[in-house]
A and B are shown apart, each in its own frame.
Chain A
Amino acid sequence: MPKKVSKYVPYLLIAPALIYLAVLIGYPAIEGIKLVFYKDGGFSFATIHRAVNNYYFWPALKNTLKLVVVILPTQLVLALVFALAMNKVFKGRNVALTLLLIPMTLSDIAAGLIWYSMLSPSGFINKLLLTSGLIQTPIQLFGYQFHTREFLTLVFVELWRSTVTIFVIVLAGLQMISQEYIEAAEVFGAGYWTRLRHILIPLLKPSIQTALLLRTIYAFSIFGIVMVLVGRDIPVLAGEAYYQVTQIKDYGVGAFYALLIAVMSLTIGVIYLRLTKAEYLEVKR
């Protein structure tokens, strides 16, 4: 093959994908910005004014951030414990692993509905507690008056659904760590906690960061699970964007909420990438 041709071949092969992404992501992004800032052919804050003064906006922003802050650290610790446990060889490991993987492939809608069957007033857990005599009346978890309970239920179900994503990536990272490091540490008398703190966790850092990055960004657009379990009792940004577009038909306000989620995600993404750049290079080389 002549050299002149092969110089352009890689670009030609990549071009369709890049063009497609530019059209389907780049163009809507620009269109979205226009929706938010332009009105009647000129620059305007009217849409933002309308969006920010919406009764649901500040609660939605607050709830979204609160959910991210509560869910992520908990999830990370849980995923680490799961991964460390599942990294061992034991009887029934394959069955356990398969079960653990299922939530990863479930939609948030399905996950919400599944847990509704567990937690609703006539659900499995209430009936179990009732028939065993531990409680006299069903525990109510859903309803506007139980705001804190609804929030905690949401956290619990989201932990069930998405901890697995971090778990899988961390487990993959764990399996790449050479057993020799750990054996060497054992020879020198390092106990489990010392090994964990000074060997496993530092070596796992790249996997943990990748997983955290993915999860943080998806956590900002949390939507289906909230809609199914608590509706607008606990408004979130993505839910409000959905509501504005489908019910109110105010595309400008909807686009503003969407853009806000995108900007927050990208900011976090950039911060993560900056912080982790050195480690990524180390791992790759």
Chain B
Amino acid sequence: MNERTMYELRKLGFYTLIFIVVVWMGLPLVVSTLYAFGTPDDYYDPNKVIPLHFTFETVKMLLFTLGGWEALKNSVIVATLAIIISFILGLPAGYSIARFIFPGKDSIKLGMLALKIFPVHIMAVPLVILYIRLHLLDTRLGVALAHSAGALPLVVLITASIFAGTSAELEEAGMVFGLTRFQSFVKITLPLSLPGLAAAAMFTFVGSWNEVFAASVLTFKHRTLPALMLTLMETAPDYYKFAAAFIMAFPAMVYVAVARKYLISMWGIAIK
């Protein structure tokens, strides 16, 4: 075998690998989306590999008869509250880590990292007892509080790195010209770091949107979308499952499409 065929073979092998990976990752998304709008008859017809008749009935049923729409609203409210809480608390902390040198800073950073690797949502079980006492059980605020506790360490670390990436000199220049540190932060650093902060906020949103354990344990009437689907799907017919998957996955897919660049750059990957 000469070098040219070797090269061609290797190239073929490489593209085959990529092809397999992409099909493995992508095909389930396409197929389940098609089935979400396929008719039940097509699904149970063994000769129809891909549904040919489409309907909104199943999605409508899930959203408007089985409580999907309420749950979706709950999910949005919980995730939004989680962003607000974790950012109100996390932004100052992140700023402090980015701009000041002080004793104990490294331990705090390490502590945040340790909490990040700790499965915070598991804490939801003892939270149940606390929430009964505080009348927070089965409330959106209760779930949001738990979710923001899970997101907060990451928000602190990410915002710290975002603020560290904006120049401290500009802020100091603002202070020289008579702004207070706070004004300087609001007028100079905040606008500069807005795209990064938006990406971090979206990440928080997706984290809360997807979280199911705490949401299921802490609510029974005001369930978020994943928590509702978890209970519904124990008894629902099969074709409902794809519609449910679509409703849950759709925002995530949109998010990836919109925020792909930020999502990747958050992990330090440069796309060319």
Contacts and interface: CB of A to CB of B under 8 A. Distances in A.
Interface of A: 1, 6-7, 9-11, 13-14, 16-18, 20-21, 24-25, 27-29, 31-32, 35, 81-82, 85-86, 88-90, 92, 94-103, 105-110, 113-118, 120, 122, 124, 127-128, 130-131, 138, 160, 164, 168-169, 171-172, 175-176, 213-214, 217-218, 220-221, 223-224, 227-228, 231, 238, 241-242, 245-246, 251, 254-255, 257-259, 261-262, 265-266, 269, 273
B173 interface: no
A109 B270 contact: no
Chain B, interface size: which category? Answer: 35 or more
Nearest to A130: B46
7 contacts: A7-B102, A17-B152, A28-B123, A106-B248, A238-B122, A245-B217, A258-B124
Interface of B: 14-15, 17-18, 21-22, 24-29, 31-32, 35, 43-44, 46-50, 85, 88-90, 92-93, 95-97, 99-100, 102, 105, 108, 114-130, 145-146, 148-149, 152-153, 156, 175, 181, 206, 209-213, 216-217, 220, 226, 229-230, 233-234, 238, 241-242, 244-245, 248-249, 252-253, 255-257, 260, 263-264, 267-272
Given A20-B89, A20-B152, A269-B117, A105 B255 contact: yes
A258 to B, nearest CB: 4
A85 B17 CA distance: 8
A35 to B, nearest CB: 6
A128 B27 CA distance: 13
B66 to A, nearest CB: 14
Given A109-B230, A262-B118, A265-B119, A85 B14 contact: yes
A114 B242 contact: yes
Contacts, number: 282
Contact of A117 (B35, B105, B217, B253): B35
A224 B230 contact: yes
Contact of B213 (A9, A106, A242): A242
B123 A127 contact: no
B93 A96 contact: no
A224 B213 contact: yes
Contacts of A128: 49
Given A25-B123, A117-B241, A122-B238, A90 B149 contact: no
Given A99-B26, A269-B118, A245 B256 contact: no
